[in-house]
A and B are shown apart, each in its own frame.
Chain A
Amino acid sequence: MEIPYNVEERQDTGMFNGKLGIWLFLASEVMLFGGLFSAYVFLRMGDVTGAFNSGSSELNVPLATFNTLVLISSSVTMIMSWVSLKLGEQKKFKQYLGATLLLAAVFLVVKYFEYTAKFHHGIFPETSTFFAIYFTLTGLHMIHILGGMIVIFYFLVPGSKMMNIEPERFTNRIEIVGLYWHFVDLVWIFLFPVLYLL
């Protein structure tokens, strides 16, 4: 049985079903991270020990700035992969999507070095309320990066067969992955100043 509205638009929503689906998922993600940002505000307002000021001063701002630029670049390569598909340039699509995967890996490697440096200095989530929320927020964000990488890898290698069989449906799938990836970038845009700079 054919699944309806995975290419053609529904009249009532004006879009294919997958797109509304990813937006509903992203809405739940907004609330997930929103809840944790709210916890950050709560802990910061109740911080009488100065854990937040001393904690954020121990974080590596140059590395995080570099990682911010890496993630922004990956958002551009992601959207360029979708643009390439729209223009029927399959080779460029693979190059851009491959670049996105590589940049995501760079982000995780940098984060690995940041985390291990903290562990070597005896800093763990239990160290203070600041580091508890720091590891929770950045850890959850890293899981999202990892999840995105798995999906991107799928569409780059095994899932790319659909590109020639059902090109329009495949393009829609890449648009959906892109929406997720830009959201992950969006979360980091707020995480970076809140955790590292304030």
Chain B
Amino acid sequence: MSKHSVEDIKKSVKVYIGVFAALAVLTVVTVAASYLDLSFGESFFLALTIASIKGTLVAGYFMHLFTERTAVLAVLGLTFFFLITIMFLPFMAFTDQSAI
């Protein structure tokens, strides 16, 4: 995302404003959803789904990941693998503990 024509940049400004509006609306939706009478599991799933959508918008548009080079995507792909691994460690620990 380093070669841009003036026209491309002007078009992308509209996208950025749209993303900003979506992020603001989703923030309000997240807070509103937290007042719903849901179980912890349901609330957890809903909150993380909305946060993931917001995160994708920021990473994809503001950080230009949707149009980024393969080298960056490769670095992030590897990072994501280790992130998922580290996030599952607590579950593995508790499963292991309950097996004793």
What's the Cα separation between A38 and B43 when bound, in Å?
A: 19
Across-interface contacts of B9 in A (CB, < 8 A): 83, 86-87
- Nearest opposing residue in chain A for B48, CB measure: A193
Which residues of B in the span 49-73 have a Cβ within 8 Å of any Cβ on A?
50-51, 54-55, 58-59, 62-63, 69-72
- A73 CB within 8 Å of chain B: yes
Q: Is the CB of A76 within 8 A of B4?
A: no
- Distance in Å from the Cβ of B34 to the closest Cβ of chain A? 4
What's the Cα separation between A159 and B87 when bound, in Å?
A: 39
Q: Is the CB of A15 within 8 A of B79?
A: no
Q: Per-residue 0/1 for A41-52: is the Cβ within 8 Å of any B Cβ (1 yes, 0 no)?
A: 110011000000
Q: Is the CB of B44 within 8 A of A198?
A: yes
Size of the chain A interface, CB-CB below 8 angstroms: 50
- Nearest opposing residue in chain B for A88, CB measure: B6
Residue among A35, A185, A193 making CB contact with B86, cutoff 8 Å: A35
- A37 CB within 8 Å of chain B: yes
What's the Cα separation between A179 and B63 when bound, in Å?
A: 6
Q: Is the CB of A14 within 8 A of B79?
A: no
- B100 CB within 8 Å of chain A: no
Residue among A20, A34, A87, A186 making CB contact with B83, cutoff 8 Å: A34
- Distance in Å from the Cβ of A143 to the closest Cβ of chain B? 20
What's the Cα separation between A72 and B37 when bound, in Å?
A: 28
- A150 CB within 8 Å of chain B: no
Across-interface contacts of B71 in A (CB, < 8 A): 12-15, 20
A-B contacts, 7 of them at CB < 8 A, read A69-B27, A72-B20, A75-B58, A80-B16, A175-B2, A178-B62, A185-B58
Contacts A27-B75, A189-B55, A197-B34 supplied; 6 other A-B pairs, CB < 8 Å: A14-B69, A46-B94, A83-B16, A189-B54, A193-B47, A193-B50
